[in-house]
Amino acid sequence: MQPRLLVKLSDLSQSDVALAGGKASSLGELTNAGIEVPPGFVVTTEAYRLFSQSELPQQLQQKILAEYNNLGAERVSVRSSAVAEDSSSSSWAGQFESYLNVTKDDLVKRINDCWQSVENAQAYAEQQSGKSDMTMAVIVQKMVDSDVSGVAFSKNPITKNDKEVMIEATYGLGELLVQGMVTPDNYLVDKNTLEILDKKIQSKKVMLVYKDGSNKEQPVQDDVANKPCLDDSNIVELSRLTIDIEIHYNAPQDIEWALENDKFFILQSRPITTT
């Protein structure tokens, strides 16, 4: 049987973890559940097993670039999707490489770079659990030029209150938030009534944007730095979306999202980790 080397996100479901990794199979599942996920495709674990230690064959490179062209996007994100990733008992945040605003010329290189990050993750896994068997797929998705981005939890991760949604938000791309380099706005919402229970608005002095061909930090304008990133209607809409995803998976979720032109996109959803 021919190996499945490339698969569209829309052709994946939650049961495809072995082929596409945790992140990609979850995004495929959400796509088919009608959740707004940026379109994309996956270079599968079968491709990883065959080619991660050698140069990608020209024929596969051409197929990757053809899929890229089909997305109709000048820029894409390239992210890891490991088989061991995004389960409720483990979190690999920060262990694998991700690349934003990748252009056609750099796409194949960035896929290889994602694969090379497995070596570091294997050492981490061995240190944590004594297990080091890592297999990785790579997700290529149409880039979202986010005006605002952040995370959302369908269960308050601090108090463990499962009747509250917690949202964190910052201006621009979300990498600075993920890396802990900015302090985000924080919103608490009642899951039953969608009443906004609390807002903690921070001074957001810096944001990450795509400018002049690369990702750059730039100052946030003074007139908006101390204002909420999200208005009340955004907060309620995102809370409702977060609850819908929790209901779909029947488990509390940790979600990464982006807002572009007043439209929410889900970039990742995983169970809230227990360890």
Question: What one-character DSSP code corresponds to residue 90?
Answer: B
E strands within the chain? Answer: 6-8, 40-43, 76-82, 98-102, 136-142, 148-153, 164-171, 185-190, 196-200, 206-211, 214-219, 253-260, 263-271
- What pLDDT sits at residue 130? 56
- What pLDDT sits at residue 92? 47
Q: 112: Cβ–Cβ under 8 A, 6 or more apart, which residues?
A: 56
Does the predicted model carry a pTM greater than 0.85? yes
- Which domains occur in the chain, in start order? 6-142 (3.30.1490.20), 148-271 (3.30.470.20)
Rounded distance between C-alpha atoms, residue 246 and residue 157, angstroms: 14
- What pLDDT sits at residue 273? 76
Secondary structure of residue 70 in the 3-state scheme: helix
Amino acid at 143: M
- What pLDDT sits at residue 89? 45
Give me the residue label for tokens 């049987």: 1
User: Across the chain, how many H-helices and E-strands are there?
Assistant: 8, 13
- What pLDDT sits at residue 116? 84
What is the torsional sign of CA 240, 241, 246, 248? positive
* Residues of the chain where predicted confidence (pLDDT) is lower than 70: 85-95, 120-133, 274-275
SS3 content of the chain, % helix, strand, coil (to 5): 35, 30, 35
- What pLDDT sits at residue 171? 97
- What pLDDT sits at residue 275? 47
- What pLDDT sits at residue 157? 96
Closest alpha carbon to 24 in 46, 3, 9: 9
- What pLDDT sits at residue 59? 95
- What pLDDT sits at residue 3? 85
* Residue 178 CB neighbours (<10 A): 16
Give me the residue label for tokens 């999202």: 257
